[in-house]
C-alpha cells in the first residue's frame, strides 16, 4: 500500500534529510543554527584552513577543499562538482500533514478495494513515454526484430 509513498533508503549515494542534520559540530564551528540539509555534508575546518568557512566533507584532502560560509554556495559546489550526492529537503509541516492525509485516504480506499483507478493514474504519471518509445525502437532496431512485433499479443500486453 504505502510502498510508493515510502522513500528509498538503500542507496550507496549519500543522501541526507534536514531531520538528520546533527548538531555534532563544535560550538566555534556552529556559530548559528544551520537548518539546511547541506550542512550535514560539511566538516570542521582543519588547522591550516579558514576557520570561518564550512568545508565539504567529500572533497579529497589532496585537492583544494571547497569552503563556503553560505548554504547556497555549498549547494552550487555540490551540484556542479559532486553530482552523485543527493541533498534531500525535509518536508514542511504542511507537506507532512498532507502526506498523512493522503496515506489515510489511500488506506481507506484499499480497505474497500477502490485503489485500482488511482494506481493506474499513478503508474501513468510515473512512466516517461518518450523514454519508453525510444527503448522500444532501440530494441526493435538493435535486435533486428520484424516490424510485425507490434502485432504480437505479448507486445500489446507490454504497451
> Are residues 75 and 119 part of one domain?
no
User: What distances in angstroms separate CA 61 from CA 55, 68, 80, 131, one per listed residue?
Assistant: 10, 16, 18, 40
Q: What is the pLDDT of residue 24?
A: 42
**Tens-digit pLDDT profile for residues 14-43:** 444 444 444 444 444 445 556 677 777 788
Is 10's pLDDT higher than 50?
A: no
87, 110, 139 - which closes a domain: 87
Please report whether residue 6 resides in a domain. Answer: no
Is residue 29 left, alpha or beta, with left meaning phi > 0 and alpha meaning psi from -120 to 50?
alpha
Please report whether residue 133 resides in a domain. Answer: yes
> Are residues 67 and 31 part of one domain?
yes
Domain count, the chain: 3
Please report whether residue 106 resides in a domain. Answer: yes
87, 115, 147 - which closes a domain: 87
> Are residues 152 and 116 part of one domain?
no
Q: Residue 119's Cα: distance from chain center in Å? A: 22
Please report whether residue 10 resides in a domain. Answer: no
**Tens-digit pLDDT profile for residues 141-158:** 888 888 778 788 888 877
> Are residues 131 and 100 part of one domain?
no
Please report whether residue 97 resides in a domain. Answer: yes
By mean pLDDT, which of 17-21, 78-82, 102-106 is the weakest?
17-21
Please report whether residue 66 resides in a domain. Answer: yes
Is 85's pLDDT higher than 80?
A: no
Is 133's pLDDT higher than 80?
A: yes
Confidence of residue 103 (pLDDT cuts 50, 70, 90): very high
Q: Identify the DSSP state of 20.
A: G
Please report whether residue 98 resides in a domain. Answer: yes
Q: Which residue range is the domain that position 106 belongs to?
A: 92-125
> Are residues 145 and 159 part of one domain?
yes
Average pLDDT, the chain: 74
Amino acid at each position: 500500500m504505502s510502498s510508493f509513498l515510502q522513500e528509498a533508503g538503500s542507496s550507496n549515494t549519500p543522501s541526507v534529510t534536514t531531520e538528520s542534520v546533527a548538531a555534532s559540530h563544535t560550538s566555534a564551528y556552529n556559530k548559528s543554527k544551520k537548518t539546511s540539509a547541506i550542512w550535514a555534508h560539511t566538516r570542521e575546518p582543519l588547522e591550516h584552513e579558514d576557520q570561518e568557512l564550512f568545508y565539504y566533507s567529500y572533497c579529497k584532502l589532496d585537492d583544494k577543499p571547497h569552503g563556503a560560509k553560505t548554504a547556497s554556495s555549498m549547494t552550487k559546489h555540490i551540484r556542479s562538482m559532486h553530482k552523485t550526492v543527493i541533498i534531500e529537503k525535509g518536508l514542511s509541516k504542511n507537506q507532512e500533514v498532507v502526506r498523512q492525509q493522503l496515506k489515510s485516504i489511500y488506506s481507506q480506499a484499499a480497505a474497500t478495494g477502490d485503489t485500482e483507478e488511482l494506481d493506474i493514474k499513478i503508474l501513468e504519471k510515473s512512466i516517461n513515454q518518450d523514454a519508453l518509445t525510444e527503448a522500444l525502437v532501440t530494441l526493435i532496431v538493435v535486435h533486428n526484430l520484424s516490424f510485425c512485433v507490434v502485432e504480437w499479443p505479448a507486445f500489446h500486453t507490454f504497451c
